[in-house]
Amino acid sequence: MKFDEEKKKSIRLYLLEKIKQDNTSISKSVAETFEVNQNTVHSYINDLVNENVIRRVQRGKYELISEKTVYNLKRSNGDLSTDTYAYDFCLKQFIENFQKNVIEIWAYTFSEMINNVMDHSLAENVQIIIEQDYLNTTVIIRDDGVGIFEKIKEHFSLPSLDEAICELFKGKLTTDSENHSGEGIFFSSKMMDDFFIISSERIFSNNRYDNSRIIELVEKKYPGTCVIMSLSNFSHKQSYEVFDLYSNVEGGFTKTKIPLKNIFDSSPVSRSQAKRVCNRLDKFKEVIFDFEGVDWMGQGFAHQLFVVFKYEHPEISFIPINMNEAITKMYNHVQNTDI
């Protein structure tokens, strides 16, 4: 049976995803999904082995072949004078044959992160690591400068590093307003499949960071800041679609989304926690509070957020999402209380 090129591509990608997921019955799974016999699947596997895309680990078990390249840049050598140098020297060759949308996302996010190093970190040394297999590209940018959370904490006179991380989730945060919009980290974190910033033994991420590799990096207590970004080589994301999600018709950055599970170690309960979340929200016209992964919220937190602050800022649209039964009950309860 002959397949068109699109179906062949789909079979290959599905097969590789199953290998990456360490599926124990790859041939059967692929055969059933695409209604082909297992001999056909084996021929695909053999082709991928011959192309050095995968390697056989043991009978019936394979793994994707990944390549790792390390670059070391120094400010004193002029390596950090422009973001284009780092992009052209380190990343461009690994992504230049991808689809236009993938190249555009990498060009934006990489230049934003390198600019942060150049302008804010005071770092002398920057290490850039490119890890790539057939499915994904991962970029790690590690510097020896002033940690990003510490820099934000000091600049805005915040009481803790956790307060600084909370501000990053909202966007529009910069320690150099004359030269930066404060949007780079916010939008980069939305465009990537995985995005982590690690500094001062803390993590900023819009993802669930239960990955052992991430935890290992935190435990090693590297100085400065480490940014980890990963994106599918076949991603269908469009950078303009991400911008549009948080913009009004004029293109202004008017919306933000706050994943509460990533801000608090446990369910939020107090007014002080709510006040932390509310800081600088008056810069937006629409705020989405994402309760996914949060089991409960206290009356003080809910009242301060959805009654007091909302009363003070009626022009802002507050949209809670992913509320479970307990959170919904508390939300409804405070709606019927006075200021």
Which range has the worst mean pLDDT, 12-21, 117-126, 265-274, 282-291?
265-274
Q: Measuring CA to CA, which residue among 243, 246, 291 is closest to residue 268?
A: 291
The stretch 239-262 carries a mean pLDDT of 76
Q: Measuring CA to CA, which residue among 136, 132, 15, 20 is closest to residue 66?
A: 132
Q: What is the per-residue pLDDT for 231?
A: 95
Count of H-run helices and E-run strands, the chain: 15, 11
Which range has the worst mean pLDDT, 203-212, 270-279, 294-303?
203-212
Q: What is the per-residue pLDDT for 209?
A: 52
The CA-based angle 134-218-275, given to 5 degrees, is 110
Q: What is the per-residue pLDDT for 226?
A: 93
Q: What is the per-residue pLDDT for 8?
A: 86
Q: What is the per-residue pLDDT for 1?
A: 47
Q: What is the per-residue pLDDT for 180?
A: 47
Does 34 have pLDDT greater than 70?
yes
The neighbouring-strand residues paired with 202 are: 199
Q: What is the per-residue pLDDT for 249?
A: 46
Q: What is the per-residue pLDDT for 143?
A: 95
Q: What is the pTM of this model?
A: 0.77
Q: What is the per-residue pLDDT for 284?
A: 87
Instruction: List, in order of start, the domains of the chain with CATH numbers.
Output: 5-64 (1.10.10), 67-239 (3.30.565.10), 254-335 (3.30.750)
Q: What is the per-residue pLDDT for 186?
A: 83
